[in-house]
Amino acid sequence: MPRDTSLAPVEARVEALNARYRHHAAAPVLEHALRDPEVGRVALVSSFGAESVVLLHLISVMAPQTPVLFVDTMMLFPETLEYQRELSARLGLRDVRVIRAADTALAAHDPDGLLHQSDPDACCALRKTAPLEHALGKFDAWISGRKRFHGATRAHLEFFEAEEGTGRIKINPLAHWAREDLAEYIINNRLPRHPLVARGYPSIGCAPCTAPASGSDDPRAGRWPGREKTECGIHFSGGRAVRPGTPATQEKTP
């Protein structure tokens, strides 16, 4: 199904949505966003990482049929892949879509699988940003797990954002949550954590570009260690939205 072309311009809708839900809590924001006609067709994008279980659980309770897009870069930790399968089944998520770059794109741009060493931005664009951009072409909005306490480009997040250059809305229902809120929610709902959290990984991405960072107060510590890079490109790089060219992609559903 194509995106809804009858919707008003995205900037006007974002302004109205933020005004309407400014004083709401995370769960009501998410619940309303899933059915508000000004939002349109919505998907949840999840890394099935260290904090992902909170949004996934909320979605499973409110609308388990919501499409969940999971980008498998083919460089993820085995623990992440197993966690994705187990958590999807446990929560009863009905439409998890595994997104991968096509073999032809990988053969053309990263035939030896070492692009992350010489150009991590290009690797993220090839294996994550471009495949997700292709998959999101069917949707008017997508739900993100970003939060203000992550700092840097995320410090002033609103519940709703206009995604530059796409006409889509980005929804950040947990924007105002603190680290303690996440921990309390996970404990109260008896939700399983990503197994690498207990091994000192506060944030979990691709295996070659993620390291443990026990004792750090930075919630994204361990990502691209030794580099200035802080975002994969799905959100921001250097404070600006990244929109690379889109190689051929393929979608698979487990």
Residue 109, domain CATH? 3.40.50.620
- 124 in a structural domain: yes
Task: Find tokens 């992350």 and name the residue.
Answer: 116
pLDDT in tens, the chain (254 residues): 556 667 788 999 999 999 999 889 999 999 999 999 989 999 999 999 999 999 999 999 999 999 999 999 999 999 999 999 999 999 999 999 999 999 999 999 999 999 999 998 899 999 999 999 999 999 999 999 988 887 666 667 899 999 988 899 999 999 999 989 999 999 999 999 999 999 988 889 999 888 887 666 565 556 655 555 555 555 433 334 343 333 444 444 44
- 78 in a structural domain: yes
Supply the pLDDT for residue 236.
Answer: 39
27: burial class by Cβ within 10 Å (0-12, 13-18, 19+)?
Answer: middle
Is residue 223 within 8 Å of 209, Cβ to Cβ?
yes
Supply the pLDDT for residue 238.
Answer: 34
Q: Which amino acid, residue 135?
A: A
- Strand ranges, E, within the chain: 42-45, 68-71, 96-101, 141-143, 160-162, 169-171, 249-252
- Give the residue among 33, 77, 83, 86 at the shortest CA–CA distance from 58: 33
- 2 in a structural domain: no
Domain count, the chain: 1
Active site residues: 232
- 173 in a structural domain: yes
Strands 169-171 and 249-252 come out as: unpaired
Parent domain of 127:
10-252
CA within 13 Å, CB half, 50: 23
Supply the pLDDT for residue 2.
Answer: 54
- Give the residue among 226, 245, 210, 217 at the shortest CA–CA distance from 49: 210
CA torsion through residues 133, 138, 139, 145, sign:
negative
Supply the pLDDT for residue 211.
Answer: 83
- 213 in a structural domain: yes
Supply the pLDDT for residue 245.
Answer: 39
- 120 in a structural domain: yes
Cα–Cα dist 67/205, whole Å: 21
- 207 in a structural domain: yes
Task: Find tokens 């809804």 and name the residue.
Answer: 4
Cα–Cα dist 147/176, whole Å: 6
Is residue 224 within 8 Å of 235, Cβ to Cβ?
no
**Does the pTM exceed 0.95?**
no
Cα–Cα dist 186/169, whole Å: 27
- Give the residue among 147, 102, 137, 32 at the shortest CA–CA distance from 250: 102
Is residue 142 within 8 Å of 136, Cβ to Cβ?
yes
Supply the pLDDT for residue 203.
Answer: 85
